[in-house]
């Protein structure tokens, strides 16, 4: 919770006092259990973002009010689901990373596919954390990034992808050690995580053809599959149908309904 100046034009009340209003935003911690430390990912959407702007302006020692945690979803018991697919749009990656890491650690037989959709290669969030999951649980966790536009040319399956190139260019300038580690990690990747899977051009965002390629079928593993979706309301509705006005799950719709997934196989964060 943060207090920000109210948009009253004058910056205060008629008696000369400063007017403020409270702004509340929900955030998902990147890890669970939390312990005595909470790590949040907060993206700043320009200077007009009320909460993001305030949080990005904080200094060491500043305080904010928080409440929670409020549990949205409890992952199924180990063995209940054999194949998970996690679809994230933009900052929707935060609960996806938390869920994928927790499931991979607690259920050694589960396979997890993480699929992200972003506007551009620069918008890919938590690439290091996702790569770390892939390397730690190799053979069980796969990651694919889809972007609507590539900043430096066309993504080609036969060459270093645009996403890799952008990451390396940025790292070479800011952190040579991490750039070296990144190159070593790429060299370790087998065909299941081939170069093109790091960043694939998808101008229309998630489509039925893309999801058919990257998701399990609803009948795989005797139906023991689950798809988790998190993103802006428009993307969630397109992929899985909208949540209700009071933020309940609602019916399964969108592409996942067309593919035959049922309510017990879909969760919308």
Confidence of residue 156 (pLDDT cuts 50, 70, 90): very low
More confident residue, 166 or 136: 136
Q: What is the model's pTM?
A: 0.73
**Model pLDDT, residue 175:** 56
Cβ 87 vs Cβ 115: under 8 Å: yes
**Residues in a beta bridge with 142:** 113
Confidence of residue 199 (pLDDT cuts 50, 70, 90): low
Q: What pLDDT digit, counting tens, does each position of 38-70 carry?
A: 777 787 776 677 777 788 888 888 888 888 777
- The pLDDT mean for the chain works out to 77
**Model pLDDT, residue 203:** 82
Share of the chain above pLDDT 90, in %: 33
DSSP string, 94-131: HHHHHHHHHHHHH-TT-EEEEEEEEEEGGG---HHHHH
**Contacts with 22 (C-beta within 8 Å, 6 or more apart), sequence order:** 1, 2, 3
**Model pLDDT, residue 29:** 75
Cβ 221 vs Cβ 83: under 8 Å: yes
* pLDDT higher than threshold 60 for residue 197: no
- Among 88-92, 121-125, 165-169, the least confident range: 165-169
- Among 121-125, 139-143, 239-243, the least confident range: 121-125
> The tokens of 119 are what?
């506007």
**Contacts with 61 (C-beta within 8 Å, 6 or more apart), sequence order:** none
More confident residue, 199 or 183: 199
**Model pLDDT, residue 251:** 95
> The tokens of 51 are what?
């909460």
């Amino acid at each position: 919770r943060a207090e920000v100046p109210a948009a009253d034009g004058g910056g205060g009340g008629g008696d000369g006092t400063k007017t403020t209003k409270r702004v509340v935003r929900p955030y998902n911690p990147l890890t669970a259990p939390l312990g005595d430390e909470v790590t949040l990912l907060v993206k700043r959407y320009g200077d007009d973002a009320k909460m993001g702007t305030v949080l990005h302006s904080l200094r060491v020692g500043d305080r904010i009010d928080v409440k929670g945690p409020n549990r949205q979803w409890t992952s199924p018991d180990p063995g209940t689901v054999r194949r998970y697919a996690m679809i994230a749009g933009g900052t929707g990656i935060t609960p996806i990373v938390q869920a994928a890491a927790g499931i991979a650690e607690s259920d050694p037989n589960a396979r997890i596919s993480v699929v992200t959709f972003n506007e551009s290669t620069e918008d890919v969030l938590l690439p290091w954390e996702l790569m770390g999951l892939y390397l730690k649980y190799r053979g069980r966790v796969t990651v694919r990034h889809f972007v609507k536009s590539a900043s430096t040319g066309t993504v080609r399956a036969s060459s270093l992808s645009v996403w890799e190139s952008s990451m390396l260019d940025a790292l070479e300038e800011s952190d040579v050690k991490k750039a070296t580690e990144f190159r070593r990690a790429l060299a370790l990747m087998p065909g299941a995580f081939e170069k093109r899977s790091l960043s694939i051009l998808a101008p229309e965002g998630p489509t039925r053809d893309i999801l058919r390629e990257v998701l399990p079928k609803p009948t795989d593993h005797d139906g023991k599959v689950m798809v988790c979706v998190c993103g802006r309301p428009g993307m969630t509705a397109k992929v899985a149908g909208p949540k209700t006005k009071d933020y309940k799950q609602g019916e399964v719709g969108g592409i996942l309904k067309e593919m035959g997934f049922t309510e017990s196989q879909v969760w919308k964060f």
